Structure 1
């Protein structure tokens, strides 16, 4: 199974990330599909119990169609059958987060992370959910995200925002510098006081 089987993206604001260039300007209002290739395989035999793979695919399709209630039921069936399915837990977290149910979202992301401690989508979205209530923990998680993927420009950006709020200007400047180096399109999202000094000189 790969990340393409996730319907929920990572988030800006309170929900998504994949394919979103600049976080913090506007939260994405709909989940962005992370699936690619063939996701419309016919659902197997009429009266047979669906396999976990079929439940995952069905939940993804329901989520992509905007039917979150049905998708939630499907993913709940899946985790009842396969309690360590990180994709299902991630999507349950994503659905809860998109409904501003932060505690439920974090609980689901934790279950995804229990199955795979380095699962970046769950780490990233959990950090977003924790930004206002536990900024220090969110900073630690963003640091982990960029240690797993040092090309995660939006994680550097959000890390910089939190470091700036905490008063750590030096570390914030470094994070913003990394974000801009990876994606010049994020420059306008960086607070003005960091902008000139975070633009790499001579490169």
Structure 2
């Protein structure tokens, strides 16, 4: 079975400010794993290693999370971090669990740990921006701008940025963001506030990955 790094994402599971859902990217790379599966002490003692490799623990945590057992998943991801303290996927998943429980400060802290391991890890950036929309909208907007600078096809980041810009009174910036979102995915048109829909162009091609 192939390794899956995340079991959920608020980009997929959360409700946008306008009431639609959207998905973030799927991570392209795989978590680091031991090439041998044995520790140095095991080798020295000639004993087999009975510890579960981090990659297998990550898979287990994903399965537990997908089954809705967040307590077990949290404990499993913590075991991953005990072996690999900078595993961005484990930190991201812990952030997702905290975020799903409305523990926004803990979620942001965990997303930050993921970003310490990979400053351009888009799912963590995206979900951190979601977590900060209410309490720190300016920071959230800055993060969405960073997301689209990393991936200019992030249609939902443009959409959420546009909503925050609209709420801040920046109608021009909001209109530009909404135009970019709809250009990438015409299916988001209905999520754009009505007053901004006039003049939006929608492509005939299939929606881009969000």
Name the TM tier (shorter chain). Answer: 0.7 to 0.9
Aligned equivalent of 2:149: 147
Structure-1 residue corresponding to 2:134: 132
Offset, 1:16: 4.1
- State the secondary structure of the residue aligned to 2:51: coil
Shift of 1:107: 0.2
Q: Which runs of 5+ in 2 are unaligned?
A: 28-36, 38-48, 206-210
- The reply to whether residue 73 of structure 1 matches residue 67 of structure 2 is no
Cα shift at 1:200:
5.6
Partner residue in 2 for 1:93: 95
Give the alignment's TM-score, normalised by structure 2.
Answer: 0.79
Q: Which moved more, 1:72-81 or 1:133-142?
A: 72-81
Matches within 5 A, 1:20-31: 24-26=18-20
Superposed CA deviations along residues 120-144 of structure 1, whole A, max 9, x for unmatched, are: 0000000000000000000000000
Query: Does 2:57 correspond to 1:55?
Result: yes
In 1, distance between residues paired with 2:71 and 2:195?
Answer: 44
Residue in 2 that maps onto 1:9: 9
**Which secondary structure does the structure 2 equivalent of 1:59 belong to?**
helix
Residue 177 of structure 2 is matched in structure 1 by: 175
Query: 1:150: Cα distance to partner?
Result: 0.7
**Structure 2: how far apart are the matches of 1:67 and 1:27?**
23
SS of the equivalent of 1:196 reads: coil
Hey, which bits of structure 1, 4+ residues long, moved more than 4 A?
none
Q: TM-score, normalised by structure 1?
A: 0.81
Q: Which has the larger radius of gyration?
A: 2
Cα displacement (A) at 1:26? 4.5
User: Distance between the aligned counterparts of 1:169 and 1:198, measured in 2?
Assistant: 14
Note if contact 1:92-1:108 (Cα within 8 Å) is conserved in structure 2: yes
Alignment CA distance shift 1:187-1:140 (3 Å): same
Q: Is residue 2:115 matched to residue 1:113? A: yes
Q: Is the CA contact (8 Å cut-off) linking 1:72 and 1:95 kept in structure 2?
A: yes
* Preserved CA contact (<8 Å) 1:93 1:106: yes
Tell me if structure 2 keeps the 8 A contact 1:106–1:129: yes
Which runs of 5 or more residues in structure 1 are unaligned? 36-43
